[in-house]
Amino acid sequence: MKILILTHRVPFPQNGGYPIVVCNTVRGLVNLGHEVSLVALNAKRYHHHEHSDDDNDLISKINYRAFNIDIGVSVFDVALNLFSKTSFNINRYYSAEFERLLIQEVRTTNYDIIQFEGLMVSLYLGAVRKHSSARLIYRAHNIENQIWQRLSEQKSDPFKKSYLKMHAKRIKDYELKQLNNFDGIAVFTQQDKSTLLEYGTKIPIEIMPVGIYLDHYKPDFSKTEFPSLFFLGSLDWLPNREGIEWFLENFHKDLTDGDLRVRFYVAGNDIPERFDDYDVLGKIFIQGEVDDALEFVNSKSIMIVPLLTSGGMRVKIVEGMAMQKCIISTSLGAEGINYEDQVNILIANNQDEFYETIKLCIADENYCKYIGLNARKLVEEQHDVNIVTQKLIDFYKIVIVLV
């Protein structure tokens, strides 16, 4: 098949959930013998990242292009958007010039499948539909309006709550308008499929869990600090930022002066400068972006995922499981993973539960290893990228026949 993948950001380097999912999908399709093109919007904030050897290897096997776009929003833009019926969080990814180039692309090449990776690139659905006979697949990385709705529910400030609810409604209206215009939808979780069916989606929907290359994940416990807590995630994604702020605000004293005698490391992209205030010498380390994410994960023992608002499937949890980490997550953070609490993950949904679970883990290394070993087994059974990619191809074939 000839397959075109459209993304709202450059998936290189592969340093976050979205890039990892996209690149694993592309590599899986290439390995199965399909001809893949990848066209990405290159948001201004991501312009200066260097490609790794792994990135360059993948790029050499596909037809890849990136289009620079400035998604920055001024205070004036935000104020003006108050009187609009759509959300600037979607509209800022529209470029008339990119749309013209995309039309030329789909006219020139007779694609079998065009896959839209997330809601932002669905802005170009109408243009692609008009100029291509390809089957159009939407991959819902999240149910976007749910994230904004859940964010609003966490706010006590009336203005912030109202503002976030407004965006949630606008994004939901847009999602509902777009969904049935595709030929098929791939989601990561049963919860997301159920939500889309409740929205009245009539087209085929298939669950495709996160797939990873297990050979890349080789834990080495001789290099692991025990006990140690860590968080790894991009803080330009609001649910991550909100969750880790909640954790730091609630556990800062316990970690620095209390009974939780364990070092805590925070790493990831786009960590705001204000997070430096949480840093405490020898106890809490705000590290920012790390050169090698898997090396960082391997060097620590207990992973925390304090997500309060989310959707889809957290790639970092799947990766942490592959690295045999003992993971403490909210049930919302672990949504979509076929976990068993206290067997292959530990679920904590409030401050008291996090406290007691951390206290248990830092006192019992063998228990942490037991959880981590079972986590690896789960990933091997359900998240092997080769199995997941073949399932995606089978879904493409069904959509081609049905439409």
The CATH number of residue 285's host domain is 3.40.50.2000
**Mean pLDDT calculated for residue range 105-133:** 97
Q: Which of 246, 243, 260 is nearest to 316 (CA)?
A: 243
**Mean pLDDT calculated for residue range 75-90:** 67
pLDDT of residue 74: 67
Same domain, 265 and 368: yes
Q: Which of 233, 225, 295, 293 is nearest to 262 (CA)?
A: 225
Tell whether the model's pLDDT for residue 310 goes beyond 70: no
For the chain, how far is it from start to end, CA to CA, in angstroms? Answer: 16
Asked if 42 and 97 count as a contact pair (C-beta separation under 8 A), the reply is no
CA pair distance 217, 226, nearest whole angstrom: 19
pLDDT of residue 144: 85
Dihedral of the CA atoms 360, 364, 367, 373 (nearest 10)?
A: 120
Phi, psi dihedral angles at 265 (to 5 degrees):
-115, 135
**pLDDT band (50, 70, 90) for residue 73:** low
pLDDT of residue 83: 59
Q: Which of 101, 136, 130, 135 is nearest to 116 (CA)?
A: 136
pLDDT of residue 79: 59
> Any idea which residue has 């001809």 for tokens?
35
Q: In which domain, by residue range, is 226 found? A: 215-382
Beta strand extents in 104-262 (DSSP E only): 113-117, 135-140, 184-187, 205-207, 228-232
Same domain, 158 and 75: yes
**pLDDT band (50, 70, 90) for residue 246:** very high
pLDDT of residue 153: 84
Asked if 8 and 121 count as a contact pair (C-beta separation under 8 A), the reply is yes
Asked if 145 and 176 count as a contact pair (C-beta separation under 8 A), the reply is no
Least confident span in 47-51, 297-301, 339-343, 385-389? 47-51
Asked if 238 and 244 count as a contact pair (C-beta separation under 8 A), the reply is no
Same domain, 171 and 147: yes
Same domain, 53 and 109: yes
Same domain, 279 and 154: no
Average pLDDT value for the chain: 92
Tell whether the model's pLDDT for residue 312 goes beyond 60: no
Q: Which of 315, 325, 342 is nearest to 229 (CA)?
A: 325
pLDDT of residue 234: 86
Same domain, 227 and 318: yes
Same domain, 188 and 221: no
Provide the domain count of the chain.
2
What DSSP assignment string belongs to 63-87?
Answer: EEEEEEE-----HHHHHHHTTSSS-
Buried/exposed code over 359-396 (b: 16+ C-beta within 10 A; e: otherwise): eebbeebeebbebbebbbebbeebbbbeebbeebbebb
Highest mean pLDDT among 45-59, 147-161, 263-277: 263-277
Reported pTM: 0.87
Same domain, 200 and 251: no
Same domain, 317 and 357: yes
Please, what is the Cα angle at 343 between 21 and 318, to 5 degrees?
Answer: 10
**Mean pLDDT calculated for residue range 298-320:** 88
Q: pLDDT (tens digit, 9 = 90+) per residue, 170-183? A: 999 999 999 999 99
CA pair distance 104, 89, nearest whole angstrom: 26
